[in-house]
Amino acid sequence: MNDQHPYAPNEPLPAAAPPLPPTLPVPNRTAGRRFWSAAAAGALAASIVWGAALALTGGGDGDGAAPDISAYRTGVDLCKEQSTKAVERLYTLKDPKPATLRHANMDRSECNRDLERKGSDGDRPTMLSASFSLHKKADPGPAFVAEAEGADYVPEAKTSVKKIPDLGERAYLVESNFEFARFFTLSVQDGGAVYVVKYTGGPRSEAEKNGDAAGAKVESALIEDTKTTLAALRRS
């Protein structure tokens, strides 16, 4: 595990940098909940907009040779194909929102769902979003590691990056924690195929900061479901 995020700043800002805004007051519980709702919604919206931009531009791939994507199906409805059995042991899934975006350079399918924790924590919005991209003309590999390790970077967040073995050609799991939110992002590359699944939830409780069994369950569920999903997306 690497506790230092690869995109964390290593040097102080130059003296000419503009001054920081005044420190905001610490929000109360209700204000914190409103902030978290807005932050979570903003993160999801940014993911959707970024996905659309990738589909229109081709993803900013390098000049590598066209990868082999023949093993995977194109134009899938990811909300139907994505396995969520492991996540459903922890949450009830609601309101699936699929999207399929096509481009000469890349095909991309997305699915976004709301999650409701079984038994508790129903006051904070929790989301599961996934994307499956097939790069047709250029190898996504050169950019994949940077994007996977840099997932959900927030300067104030405590972030860890793990390499996940036996999953595609290479896979990374990034956990980011800050005051009002928590993200787990699992990114997998297999040739020209890139699959990314993101969990967006509330911050760790005091009990979880000591043992964090809940976080371990989320990690395990994402990995288990991703293995099943990638197998389902392959051509038979």
Task: For the full predicted model, state whether its pTM sits above 0.75.
Answer: no
Q: Which is more confidently placed, 123 or 162?
A: 162
pLDDT tier at 85, thresholds 50, 70, 90:
very high
What is the average per-residue pLDDT within 59-71?
Answer: 66
Give the residue with greater pLDDT, 93 vs 104. 93
Of 232, 236, 133, 137, which is closest to residue 188 (Cα–Cα)?
133
Confidence of residue 120 (pLDDT cuts 50, 70, 90): low
93 has which bridge partners?
115
pLDDT-derived band at 217 (thresholds 50, 70, 90) equals very high
Name which of 87-101, 180-194, 208-222 the model is least confident about: 208-222
